[in-house]
Amino acid sequence: MYNPASDNVLLTRQFRLPVLLNGGLESLIEAPAGLLEGADPAERMRAELMEETGYKVFELTHLYDVYMSPGSVTEYLAFFYGEYAESDKVGAGGGSVAEGEDIDVLEVTLSKAMQMISCGDIRDAKTIILLQHLTIRLLQEKYTTLEF
């Protein structure tokens, strides 16, 4: 989620047991996400954004679908781009208590988020892909002669 007026992105921080058991960090900084559970991907993404961040998002653009580790898991991810404004905040966010979630909402500049990748604060692959995609997209808009 990107706020073009402030050049900020919305991220979350939450506990991930598999990462901790693997000797990693206690919590991961991630882009909001969730399991489809049979739902339409865009509808599910809107629900997850509201649940995790407290922001109501009206328009989402489907970017692409990816398999993160096709040799070991069947999970695929649907990636979306969406914009938000401060006025779109309608709830507290923080995740679902029923699902055992305790999520911190982070709002940082895109530049800071890219620095967080470089220094190892952001290690989640989907988040890195989305932030890099956004950076390339904004550069492409700025320098319209670039073609990817």
The sign of the CA dihedral 130, 148, 77, 49 is positive
30 annotated ligand-binding residue: no
Beta bridge partners of 45: none
d(C-alpha 35, C-alpha 44), whole Å: 8
Residue-wise pLDDT tens digits, 18-72:
888 888 788 999 999 888 778 899 999 999 999 999 999 989 999 999 998 889 9
What residues contact residue 60 under an 8 Å CB cut-off, 6+ apart? 42, 45, 46, 80, 81, 82
Measuring CA to CA, which residue among 66, 65, 111, 59 is closest to residue 81?
59
52 annotated ligand-binding residue: yes
Residue-wise pLDDT tens digits, 114-138:
999 999 999 999 999 999 999 999 9
d(C-alpha 125, C-alpha 62), whole Å: 18
**What are the structural domains, with CATH classification, of the chain?**
2-142 (3.90.79.10)
Query: Confidence class of residue 147 from pLDDT cuts 50, 70 and 90?
Result: low
- 100, exposed or middle or buried, with CB in 10 Å at 0-12, 13-18, 19+? exposed
Which DSSP helix (H) or strand (E) runs through 28?
strand 27-30
- 128, exposed or middle or buried, with CB in 10 Å at 0-12, 13-18, 19+? middle
The sign of the CA dihedral 132, 133, 137, 143 is positive
